A and B are shown apart, each in its own frame.
Chain A
Amino acid sequence: MRGAPAVSAYLPILVLGLVSFGFAVFSVVAGALTGPKRYNRARLAAYECGIEPTPQPAGGGRFPVKYYLTAMLFIVFDIEIVFLYPWAVTFDRLALFGLIEMVLFIATVLVAYAYVWRRGGLEWDN
């Protein structure tokens, strides 16, 4: 694997990407062409179980702050994972030093995790 030219390893992905995205674009275009077109105001309205659709403010409106909180917690843990991957791959070479370093790092993240848990950041209903 090592020493092989990098471009040749990534070229197949480009070809597969062309095929899969090409198929998706083709389907979207074909769907617009093959189906019938009969104008009907009620059919074009947003579906809301038969009642008049609720007007939506521009940009999709407001939604619970919980979703932002989840996204921020995700970033914290995702970055932890990004640090863990190269550490795991080179673990045998880092020896005991690597283990101690990572225990300290995980302990630091766990302090934040315990804080979020205590403050109810992981509860969905409150």
Chain B
Amino acid sequence: MTFNDPFGIIVVKVLGIFVLLVLMTLFTIWAERRVVSRMQHRIGPNRTGPQGLLQSLMDGIKLALKEDITPTGAHKAVFLLAPIISTGPAFLAFAVIPFGPEVSMFGHTTPLQLTDFPVSVLYVLAVASVGIYGIVLAGWSSNSTYSLLGGLRSSAQMISYEIAMGLSFVAVFLYSGSMSTSQIIEKQTSVWFILLLLPSFAIYAISMVGETNRAPFDLPEAEGELVGGFHTEYSSLKFALFFLAEYVNMVTVSAMATTLFLGGWRAPWPLSTWAGANTGWVPFVWWLCKVFAFLFVFIWLRGTLPRMRYDQFMRFGWKVLIPSSICWLLIVATARALRNNSTMDTRGLLVTAAVILLVVVGISAVVERQRIAATERDEAERGEREARSRRLFPTPHAPAAASAAALEPGEAHDA
């Protein structure tokens, strides 16, 4: 594939990507409200437009007509810049996402992808990291306790899960021998990487939910603790920009999952036997289906799972995801070296290793749960004992241990 488009085609592609992302955002917000409503036995927005489809657009217009508030004591320049820093990079990541094979566009044959270079996955990671600055700066510049805590939490959360995410990519690069997105898809012609590298996909799928601050990992905006998190103080279109960035990021991580593990725009198995399935504009449909499947899972998770506690969330990231992804990476590298140096078929070996790894992680999770439950039981028993001793020797304003020590000399005097 070559990327030597004339300037006109580049502009058409850029505008296409931009419109697609905005439309997907509007659609996903609507779909989320409708699907979550169904899951909670409600109806959801169904008044504006057919089936309520125009609801998110109308909400955007309503937000534009609201007062634009800059709280007193806010750092004005940074407060203004933060939503821009958050939104701009969110779109940029889509420059290297392949939507389909080569198509003809106004008489030019060109791949359905804006651009590609040898380090495009690294570029996506880099651009996504810039988006974190928007959130941190929004929290810091608002001059509000809730915003500051929300911004800090989300930065700590995103960098923690970015490590697990980055490590899950390594196995893909091992198998594709390239970091360019179009090459990675080319290497998945015979078999998708999700089948070969299931643990990598599982780790990526978990960390992408943490990375986008979505339920059950939506701690930066835990309403019960932090009101709205980092965007508590934002109103009007600035708030809308943060909302847009969040949903574009969801689409981005879904598109990355599709590209790296689900064969990108390639047709799924029974359909791929049809000769026309992987040529022209048709593959764009497969791409859309795969991305919407991921977006549905995001919505499903939000409708199903309760929010995690922050310490549980960090423990899970640092003590489960990172060590297991390093283990899996070593297994994959060894299997690959074996395959290169002998005639062995390592696929069976990889599947066995994946199963063993999942079992080990599962068992250690159960053991850890029991250990935590035991500690909590011990603490409850100790509390109970202390409460009982306080009832036996009622000494107000003194801790139980001190009062017990003070009693003994008194008894000696009496004797």
Q: Which residues of A contact B (CB under 8 A)?
A: 1-2, 4-6, 8-13, 15-17, 19-21, 23-25, 27-28, 30-32, 34-38, 43-49, 53-54, 56, 60-61, 63, 66-67, 70-71, 73-74, 77-78, 81, 84-85, 88-92, 95-96, 99, 102-103, 106, 110, 113, 117, 122-125
Contact = CB atoms under 8 A, between A and B. Distances in A.
A16 B170 contact: no
B211 interface: no
- Helix, strand, loop or mixed for chain A's interface? helix
Interface in B294-329: 310-311, 314-315, 318-319, 322-323, 326, 329
A35 B68 contact: yes
A84 to B, nearest CB: 5
- Helix, strand, loop or mixed for chain B's interface? helix
A122 to B, nearest CB: 5
A31 to B, nearest CB: 3
A24 to B, nearest CB: 4
B34 interface: no
Interface string B143-155: 1111111001001
B95 A91 contact: no
Contacts of B91: 16, 19-20, 23
B88 A24 contact: yes
Given A16-B18, A35-B67, A85-B170, A11 B10 contact: yes
Interface stretch (B98-106, B231-239, B250-258, B355-363): B231-239
Contact of A20 (B63, B88, B118, B182): B88
A111 B147 CA distance: 37
Given A78-B159, A103-B330, A117-B319, 11 more contacts: A1-B1, A12-B115, A19-B91, A44-B70, A46-B233, A63-B148, A63-B149, A70-B159, A73-B318, A99-B333, A106-B330
B312 to A, nearest CB: 9
Contacts of B83: 24, 27-28
B17 A110 contact: no
Nearest to B339: A92
Contacts of A60: 140, 143, 148
A32 B68 CA distance: 6
A9 B117 contact: yes
A28 B18 CA distance: 18
Contact of A81 (B14, B166, B315): B166
Interface centre among A60, A74, A103, A113 (most CB of B within 10 A): A60
A95 B340 CA distance: 8
B64 A1 contact: no
Given A24-B83, A27-B237, A28-B238, A34 B2 contact: no
